[in-house]
Structure 1
């Protein structure tokens, strides 16, 4: 056991012995996410480095404290990438690979390639008893029974301290094109995206947003195509024709310009993500892609072909937002609290139903019997 891993184990054993809560932290880029921040900081940044990379096998294994930007640079040298485009907040250097998996957040390509969970092959972790455990492996078909490695994705560190992660990587697509269409309202955009979703198109990402700063106010739909050169070249004219048929004004964006915009969308640095007023919180609606435009009195940004919708609203709107999302089979998350930070009053996540809540509680008791890891980060009593 190397020194950084030994130090982590010693801290966990000491905390479990006296019941001291530990706040698992990498670069702190996602400190805003989740219910509360409690306990002494357990810093994962010293536990860093890529321990194994097999480009021909499309597999990389990395320690949890490794900066995400370092991993992405290493993959780029071999023409490969993390296809799910993990978001990086608070600057590129702050995000770590462990935080990426613990938060379980994916970027614009999630609707076409899958989520973080789909790319996790295996993990190593330290549980609340100070035991070093390994689940999964370095190939896709390596799980018999319960897939514990993917259980850790999105758990926000409440079940254990991730120390090492094995990930599937993919080659960078040979061709890419982004179309920008002005003049389609949200429902028109959703209808188009749903129609295209049933066709063999290399549709990689989409984003619909209303520009309130323009005169007159205009709606914009951005669509990114990725894949084989022939597939991208043949799909472009078909999509342009469909948008023109609805009265949209379409242009093909320069890839450098479009790339910067997609990065800003992923990292939430677009103008839309600037807080409009101190009392507003950023809400994330996770909905079926086929859900219609919701009649909400708040400006929205729509991603994932309709599956992810962002809006700024006061925390007092929580009941209405959660009801609207539930009525179409989705959920609402308070992603970033207002400046008043009433998150202790307004739950960040939808409450779990009793059967699922019981499963979560039993998992927590098994992995973290003393309840020391990221206490109340996921749910107030978890």
Structure 2
């Protein structure tokens, strides 16, 4: 089913990149600007791709949607809702202008990630403009076409440093028949142990988060299965009454960073670790998402301290959002430093896709 064909700006964007190559003018790729805070600060001419939008092809029976990168998530979700389907990796929406291209370029996934997969896992194919102004297509619109060197998934999380994403083909999933959230009041240590235990069981869990001494357990599936699982796991049912009397929480608030926790004048860090990692040696406020594998921390500690904290835990730290500029004035490092071998690999990929260093140079690391 073809839905939209009149907002294709491929020729315009290709021309702009070719002009930039000729002029040796670096470009900063922008669209909805809902994630403008994410990544290193770069000083380049903007290339706005927000008008390259629209759903190109959507086959509900095939569970595949192909969309242009400037398409807003609100438009995509509206169309999917008509067929009781969803983006299973739950990309965050930090404002109404959040686009699918930005979500894929940043590689961001929501609370279902440990149970359903990440953004990268749902990308079947993509079309890009590389740093030489060439149009390239990778993958396809069916799962059997994604074998071999999967450059389409390589674009996920590359922050536009390898190419301007023109369109993506995404696997979608049916919405669950029923969902409910259970709440248990626990200590941090007990919550981490229980999350690890629950994740190893054959329960229909689609979300595990520990926040403000409360463990939230989301179940998704048939009503009969959820009733049985609820009886085994126990806990209070998350309802509007609970929210009003105890703590305001929803999975959408968590993923979209609209919980009170995220309304802070401190810097926001994300530290990814193995789920069995104990609580980190830090006194700052923390949310434990992804069954304990994702730690959101608000802190005024300097970058070096936080990066070392993650390194000691054998994890990866990201300075997700800078609120306190005083801690970041002399250090534009936003991501865990790469090993020598990984940095070499990144440089080779950058050289292959963007040999003139035109596209978002330095957005991930200063060397690329």
How far 1:232 sits from its partner (Å)? 1.2
How far 1:38 sits from its partner (Å)? 2.4
How far 1:256 sits from its partner (Å)? 11
Whether 1:60 and 2:46 are equivalent positions in the alignment is no
Deviations 1:247-274 (A, max 9, x none): xxx4202389889711110100000001
Structure 2 unaligned regions, length at least 5: none
Change (3 A) 1:78 1:344: farther
Deviations 1:78-132 (A, max 9, x none): 000001110011x2x2101100100000011111111000000000000111111
Change (3 A) 1:46 1:344: farther
* 2:103 corresponds to: 100
* 1:228 corresponds to: 222
Q: Which moved more, 1:321-330 or 1:57-66?
A: 321-330
Q: CA–CA distance in 1 between the matches of 2:17 and 2:184?
A: 53
Whether 1:266 and 2:255 are equivalent positions in the alignment is yes
Whether 1:301 and 2:301 are equivalent positions in the alignment is no
Matched position secondary structure for 1:290? coil
How far 1:41 sits from its partner (Å)? 1.1
With normalisation by structure 2, the TM-score equals: 0.93
Does the CA contact (< 8 Å) of 2:286 and 2:296 recur in 1? yes
Structure 1 unaligned regions, length at least 5: 211-218, 241-249
Match of 2:209 among 194, 207, 210: 207
Does the CA contact (< 8 Å) of 2:319 and 2:334 recur in 1? yes
How far 1:339 sits from its partner (Å)? 3.2
Q: CA–CA distance in 1 between the matches of 2:324 and 2:206?
A: 34
Whether 1:150 and 2:144 are equivalent positions in the alignment is no
* 1:245 corresponds to: none
* 1:379 corresponds to: 365
Does the CA contact (< 8 Å) of 2:124 and 2:146 recur in 1? no
With normalisation by structure 1, the TM-score equals: 0.90
Matched position secondary structure for 2:317? strand
Q: CA–CA distance in 1 between the matches of 2:110 and 2:241?
A: 18
* 1:243 corresponds to: none
* 2:176 corresponds to: 173
Change (3 A) 1:145 1:343: farther
Does the CA contact (< 8 Å) of 1:176 and 1:255 recur in 2? no
Matched position secondary structure for 2:258? coil
Does the CA contact (< 8 Å) of 1:178 and 1:255 recur in 2? no
Q: CA–CA distance in 1 between the matches of 2:72 and 2:53?
A: 8
Matched position secondary structure for 1:166? strand
* 1:119 corresponds to: 122
How far 1:323 sits from its partner (Å)? 2.7
RMSD: 1.9
Does the CA contact (< 8 Å) of 2:66 and 2:167 recur in 1? yes
Change (3 A) 1:3 1:88: closer
* 2:353 corresponds to: 367
Change (3 A) 1:255 1:113: farther
